[in-house]
Structure 1
Amino acid sequence: MSTLTERIDIQVKSRHELDEQLEAAVRELQEAALHVRARGILITRRLPGRYTAELSDHVPFGMTRELLR
């Protein structure tokens, strides 16, 4: 039995790294979202260069939203 990824922490030093890692995280979470079909993806900027990508009940299935803190 495999475990679904529900949260990915991202730490980067450049915009290029951020774009690559966010794209990879969203792809991975989209796969997980297909199994539950009840949550969307929330990207949260925690600090400069630190982000979290996660499945969220606050985002409709099929959507990706960004939250800046």
Structure 2
Amino acid sequence: MIAAPTAEREIRLSFSSAEEMHDGLDRAVNSLIESAATDANCGILVTRHEPGSYTVALDESVPFGQTLEAIAA
């Protein structure tokens, strides 16, 4: 797994296996929950860009307290 924080509000992740992916996405979401709680005006959006490539980010379009998933077109 390769994780690259792009800002306090976003983490880009690359995985080489499904096992890495599940654990890595869970850790990334959990790491942003604290930031979302202090911000209290956004939730977390997990976006799949291509197989093995994801972004986990705080997003104001997601209601506070929720985590949503999206697939980039």
Instruction: Compute the TM-score of the two structures, normalised by the length of structure 2.
Output: 0.86
Within 5 A, what are the aligned runs for 1:19-58?
Answer: 19-58=22-61
Which contiguous aligned blocks of 4+ residues in structure 1 show a shift greater than 2 angstroms?
none
Higher RCO, Cα 8 Å, sep 6+? 1
What SS does structure 2 have at the residue aligned with 1:58?
Answer: coil
Which one of 21, 25, 31 corresponds to residue 18 of structure 1?
Answer: 21
* 1:64 maps onto 2:67 in alignment: yes
CA–CA separation in structure 2 for the residues paired with 1:68 and 1:48:
10
Q: Which has the higher strand share?
A: 2
CA–CA separation in structure 1 for the residues paired with 2:13 and 2:63:
22
Q: What is the percent sequence identity of the aligned residues?
A: 38
Instruction: Compute the TM-score of the two structures, normalised by the length of structure 1.
Output: 0.91
User: What residue ranges of structure 2 are gaps of 5+ in the alignment?
Assistant: 1-6
RMSD of the alignment, in Å? 1.1
Contact 1:8 1:52 in 2 (8 A): yes
Question: How many matched pairs?
Answer: 66
